[in-house]
């Protein structure tokens, strides 16, 4: 009985830990790893869907105070460049769908987001600190990596994005 329980617990632990054992560390200049996630509405979201545009890929969580801190400026960035060739895409690692949905409503998140409770996408990028953001060019190459919260409405940020677009 004890041996069976030990085997079961070990298998459960390996199931939860295995994705993190294959962590990649995506760097500037690397090809952005492709992912395929499903939105809560059942729609597939792939990085390839945005080819030809710049993508600001932001990994975040509702329980992360720095993630909340940068939300207003991410919303502003999305609003400023929506339709101009820059896509802000949030990937939340939240497990609880209801808390995630309530958070989006409460904070007025306007940019597209998907939930990745298994952390498949963030593991492919090597993300372990939140928020972490990758700027991906039109061809799918990572051209910037930001660890920690950013003020996306700073003048130097806006000038940078203006120069890209």
pLDDT tens, position by position, 118-130 = 999 999 999 989 9
In a domain, 8, yes or no: no
The domain total for the chain is 1
Count CB neighbours of 3 within 10 A.
7
In a domain, 160, yes or no: yes
Q: Is the pLDDT of residue 163 over 80?
A: yes
In a domain, 9, yes or no: no
pLDDT for res 16: 57
Model's pTM, two decimal places?
Answer: 0.84
Residue ranges making up the domain that contains 133: 24-164
Q: Compute the distance between CA of residue 160 and CA of residue 152 in angstroms, rounded to an integer.
A: 10
Structure tokens belonging to residue 98: 């209801």
Number of continuous H segments (helices) and E segments (strands) in the chain: 5, 7
CATH number of the CATH domain containing 158: 3.40.30.10
In a domain, 19, yes or no: no
Q: Picking from 5-14, 30-39, 127-136, which range would have the lowest pLDDT averaged per residue? A: 5-14
In a domain, 15, yes or no: no
Q: Report the interhelical angle of 155-164 vs 65-81 (nearest 10°).
A: 50
């Amino acid at each position: 009985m004890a041996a069976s329980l030990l085997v079961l617990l070990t298998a459960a632990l390996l199931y939860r830990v295995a994705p993190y054992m294959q962590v990649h560390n995506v760097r500037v200049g690397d090809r952005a790893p492709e992912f395929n996630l499903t939105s809560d509405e059942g729609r597939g979201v792939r990085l390839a869907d945005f080819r030809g545009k710049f993508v600001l890929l932001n990994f975040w969580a509702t329980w992360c105070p720095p993630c909340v801190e940068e939300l207003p400026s991410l919303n502003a960035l999305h609003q400023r460049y929506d339709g101009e060739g820059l896509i802000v895409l949030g990937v939340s690692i939240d497990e609880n769908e209801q808390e995630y949905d309530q958070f989006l409503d409460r904070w007025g998140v306007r940019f597209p987001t998907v939930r990745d409770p298994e952390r498949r996408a963030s593991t492919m990028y090597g993300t372990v600190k939140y928020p972490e953001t990758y700027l991906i060019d039109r061809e799918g190459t990572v051209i910037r990596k930001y660890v920690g919260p950013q003020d996306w409405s700073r003048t130097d940020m806006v000038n940078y994005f203006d120069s890209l677009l």
